DNA sequence: TTTGCTTATCGTCGATTTACGATTGCAAAC
DNA sequence: GTTTGCAATCGTAAATCGACGATAAGCAAA
């Protein structure tokens, strides 16, 4: 099998993978969509909008926060969540780069498949 | 905790999540990048380019195939892998939709955070 | 047919994810 | 100082993931 190239993975690859992973669950896609929709920051309303328990929603929010896609600020007894626009700018850049590198069906590649 | 809305999740949310999940690993990002780079379909060369064993690479390819992002054709003793352009068109659409729904830092939202 | 190469699959292991209820923590209101 | 309400965390259980070596399967050439 020869030896590996041990190239490990690029910083960009890991960042992109982390963002993609954070979006790799329907609930988290739904959450960011909800946050984008009502620009005003909802908090526990998310629980009412989702078919999940409060603790589960809290965990998903934690992962989105870790991925840098969501911010949370304590606002009195409740917590105000909203999108982390800086993180989304990064996501836009990384995803855009990847998609730009992928050929489109129109520009059919001369490849074998 | 009131009762849930039981909205479950949209078809689009699930599709997008599946695609994102497939890209949620650095190795798989690296694989699709390699496939885009050398338009000609590489096969086991991927193993040489990645710091992973043959079986692991095969599994990642299987997941990418399941997500509709990669195609494989048997070509004699080896297998010819390449991007599934139809799948990438879908990915482009779904990811584009999501990113379009997200506010940019310039268009600062009047929200609370 | 047998050999050799390439890829897929099996079996396994530990780590991680997903989900939930129960508990804790915290800030405001009483 | 209590009480109330919201959200985070803990603990847990089932499922999935990521990785590997070993083994099987497929095809071409010898």
Q: What is the pLDDT of residues B67-110, one digit of tens each?
A: 999 998 887 778 899 999 999 999 999 999 999 999 987 766 55
A79-105 residue pLDDT tens: 889 999 999 999 999 999 999 999 987
At residue A2 the predicted structure's pLDDT band, cuts being 50, 70 and 90, is very low
Contact status, residue A69 vs residue A91, Cβ threshold 8 Å: yes
Q: Which residue, counting CA atoms, is nearest to the C1' of nucleotide D19? A: B56
For B113, name the nearest residue in chain A, comparing CA atoms only: A82
- The percentage of residues in chain A with a pLDDT greater than 70, rounded to a whole number, is 87
Q: Reduced to 3 states, what is the DSSP secondary structure of residue A37?
A: helix
What is the fold, at CATH topology level, of the domain defined by A11-99?
Arc Repressor Mutant, subunit A (1.10.10)
* Closest to B83 in 3D by CA, of A112, A4, A66: A112
Domain ranges for chain A: 11-99
Fold designation for B11-97: Arc Repressor Mutant, subunit A (1.10.10)
Residues of B in contact with A45 (CB under 8 A): none
Integer Rg of chain B from CA:
18
Q: What is the pLDDT of residues A41-85, one digit of tens each?
A: 887 889 999 999 999 999 999 999 999 999 988 777 788 899 999
């Amino acid at each position: 099998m020869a030896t590996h190239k041990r190239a490990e993975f690029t910083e960009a690859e890991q960042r992109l993978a982390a963002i993609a992973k954070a979006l790799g669950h329907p609930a988290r896609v739904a959450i960011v969509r909800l946050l984008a929709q009502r620009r005003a920051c909802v908090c526990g309303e998310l629980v009412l909008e989702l078919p999940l328990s409060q603790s589960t929603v809290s965990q998903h929010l934690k992962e989105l926060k870790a991925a840098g896609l969501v911010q949370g600020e304590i606002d009195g007894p409740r917590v105000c969540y909203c999108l982390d626009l800086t993180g989304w700018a990064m996501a836009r850049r990384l995803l855009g780069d990847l998609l730009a590198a992928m050929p489109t069906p129109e520009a059919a590649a001369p490849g074998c498949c």
